[in-house]
Structure 1
Amino acid sequence: MEIKGIVKIIFPETSGQSKKGTWTKQEILITQNEDKFPSDVIVTYFSNKDASGLAPGQAVKVQVSASSKEYNGRWYTVLKAYSTEKIGEAPRQESRSSSIEQMGSDALNNSGPDELPF
């Protein structure tokens, strides 16, 4: 299955211990914009897969396999990434944060004593 979208959030890597040994996983939230209504999907990278080259705002195409498991009468589905392709350049974080700071300082400088900056 293929998922195309924009990386919205990269969650911190987690690790643990199981009968088979140590495991690590990292999840990313991808927003799909191909349909009329955008949808968010969590994709999981396990042990040997790496999501470190991705950045929020990066357009990606991810090949995933879906699997579901039952736990205490509820079913849970995991989308495991096995291939990731970047579709463009990630936006530069520096320019975005500096523009936000500039907007904030402009709003504070232009407001009167009784005006709110937003």
Structure 2
Amino acid sequence: MNDRKPYYKLVTLDGQKPYADGDRAQAAVVEHLQLIKTCKEDPSLIVVDVGAYVGDFGLYAAACGCQVYLFEVQPNMVDLIQTSILVNNFSSSRVHVINKAVSNLPSNSQLTFLQDAGDTKET
């Protein structure tokens, strides 16, 4: 049983299927990071998921045993992530969702999220 990959439940919008990574870039990153092994060896490891959307990468890291910070600007996506955390019984002391944008802009910059377009722009 210890050789099984971690699994988790992912909550999505009604009728919406999770995004499938066509070029498998995320799968390659996950394989390269070896999160299952790394998090078992050091459970204090912190994984940051910036622009988490539905949180699939961050939730996978949480299932591996990592401490996770997920940043997502869209309030409806934050709600889905928080529901996924509850459904999976992930500890709130290990998995954190922050409803904020992350940017390399100066701290006094104003970001506007365009709900209909799903875009964020600097103003």
Structure number with greater Rg is 1
Question: What TM-score comes out, normalization by structure 2 length?
Answer: 0.22
Greater strand share, 1 or 2? Answer: 1
Greater helix share, 1 or 2? Answer: 2
